[in-house]
Every structure is written in structure tokens, then in C-alpha cells.
Amino acid sequence: MPSGALVLGAIASVQLGAAVATTLFARLGPAGTVLERLAFGSLILLAISRPRLRGQHPRQLAQAAIFGLVLAAMNLTFYESLHRIPLGIAVALEFVGPLAVALAGSRRALDLLWVAFAVGGILVLTDPGGHALDGLGVLLALLAGCFWGAYIVLNARLGRIFPGGSGLALGICVGTVAVAPLGIAEAGVQLLDGESLLLGAAIGLLSSVIPYSFEVEALRRIAPPVFGVLMSLEPAVAALAGFVVVGQRISPRVLVGIVLVIVASAGAARAGGDVAVAV
């Protein structure tokens, strides 16, 4: 597949998975849905990567554990925001994390323009069409963005100390264990319902395994700034997925806010940043 198609495929897969996840909230709640996603993602990635604990330095294992905790927090806060605000808006707000990473250490005056676009987009999105969004949902989406920024930094380190996807597999196992008490308390025996398990497996595949695999392959072929520009399309794809899967409408005002965030993310990525797929 062309590298551009791989990136777009990763974006479409992860946002389709997020849209499908919202259909499980009524049955499992956000925490229960996150547990299903991470549990199935763990099983699939463990089978693919087959990570080995023997011979690993404790510091390396600690890095994987910290990554897993950040991964769990990112997913939990993001899904809690999805429970309160539309998918496209949540993803656009969450992009503050990758945007901050892309602009970190910048000394160019032009980058202030991307910050202005991002702030403008966020202000528009938090008041779509004159109807204020759920305040807690907005805060959770922004918090998820902070965790996404930390995820990008930690993921880069993990890739340098673990071969292949073994670091991710170990980290996602830690994340699953961390979320388990919350997910079990919220969903209970519904976690073992046949339909819940089937949808959980689909979400784990769509939101974790497929986008991660596509991302790794794409980054072998294209420069990180180009990858980042392509990834900036994610809020638009998220809005489309929310519309198609769960019927979330996209008002002209929301569309303007999403476009502003996309322009800010693309500009920041061209400045030399990198935006990674959220697992």
C-alpha cells in the first residue's frame, strides 16, 4: 500500500473503533469499554510480538509500565469525554497534546500562528452553535490530550529500548491491569456478555492493532513531519465516523473549529513535529 494510504487507513481504523466504542457505553460504561478494548488489544499484541521478560533490565520494564499507565489514563479520559461530547469535537480538543509536542522547543515566530489557530478552534468547539458543551467532557478531552502528548514522548523512548512491538505489548498489559478494577466495578458481569465481547474484540482490533501496524510501516517510508501533516486529518475523520456510525451531526460552526485545529496541527507538524496514533 502507498504510505499515504497506510496513514489514512490507520486514522480511519482508530476513529471507526472509537465510534463503535460509544455504542457500548450504555451497557458497559466508558471504563468497562476501555477494559474490553485494552484486554483484547493485549491478547492480540502479545500473540504477535511475543515479548520476553527474561533478560530485560528493571529500568526498561519500568519504562514499559509507566507507558502502560499513561496509555490507560489516555484511553479512560478520552472515552469518558466521548460519553459526554461528540467524537469529532473530542478528538479535535484532544489534539492539543500532539500539537504541544510538535511545538515544544520551537523558536520560530510563525509557530505562534499555529497556536492562534489551535486556540481559535478550541474556543469555537467549546461553544458549537451557541449551545455550550458539557464542561466536564471538554476538560476530560483536554486532559486526554495531555496524556496523548506524554504517550508520544514515551512511545518514542519505548521504541528505542524494545524490539518491534514488544514494548507496546508489555505496556498495554499494564494498562489493562490498571483499568481492570474500574471496568469491573462499572460493567460487572456485562463484560462477559457475548455481544460485548464481540464488540470489544472489534474495538481492540480497530483501535489498537490495525492503526499501530499501519503507523509503524508508514514511518519506515515517510518523514515524521509528512506523517504528522497526514495525521492532522484525524479530527475530520473522527467527525465523519461519529456522523456515519452514531448519527452525530456536524454543524457549520463545529466544522470551522475542526478545520482550525487541523490547520494548526498540520502547520506544527511541518515545523518538524511528529504526531503519533493514539493506541
The answer to whether residue 265 is domain-embedded is yes
pLDDT tens digits along 135-157: 899 999 999 999 988 888 887 77
Whether residue 183 has pLDDT greater than 90:
yes
Q: How far apart are CA 104 and CA 268, in angstroms?
A: 10
Q: How far apart are CA 69 and CA 71, in angstroms?
A: 5
Inter-residue contact 210 to 37 (CB < 8 Å): no
The answer to whether residue 228 is domain-embedded is yes
pLDDT tens digits along 85-132: 988 889 888 888 888 877 776 667 777 787 888 888 888 887 655 566
- Residue 189 burial (10 A CB sphere; 0-12, 13-18, 19+): exposed
Q: How far apart are CA 36 and CA 101, in angstroms?
A: 29
Q: Grid coordinates representing 169?
A: 505489548
Domain count, the chain: 1
Q: Grid coordinates representing 109?
A: 515566530
Q: How far apart are CA 33 and CA 76, in angstroms?
A: 9
Dihedral over Cα of 194, 71, 63, 202: its sign: positive
Q: Grid coordinates representing 222?
A: 515517510
The answer to whether residue 117 is domain-embedded is yes
SS3 state of residue 254? helix
**Residue that has been written with the C-alpha cell 496509555 in this structure:** 71
CA distances from 10 to 50, 102, 233 (A): 23, 20, 11
Q: Which domain holds residue 131?
A: 3-270
Inter-residue contact 99 to 242 (CB < 8 Å): no
The answer to whether residue 15 is domain-embedded is yes
pLDDT tens digits along 231-247: 788 888 888 888 888 88
Q: Which of 40-49, 62-71, 269-278 has the lowest mean pLDDT?
A: 269-278
CA distances from 206 to 2, 10, 19, 29, 236 (A): 20, 9, 10, 19, 18
The answer to whether residue 275 is domain-embedded is no
Q: Can you give the pLDDT at residue 114?
A: 79
Span 24-31, average pLDDT: 92
Which uninterrupted H or E stretch holds 31?
A: helix 25-49
Q: How far apart are CA 201 and CA 248, in angstroms?
A: 24
Inter-residue contact 128 to 257 (CB < 8 Å): yes
The answer to whether residue 242 is domain-embedded is yes
The answer to whether residue 279 is domain-embedded is no
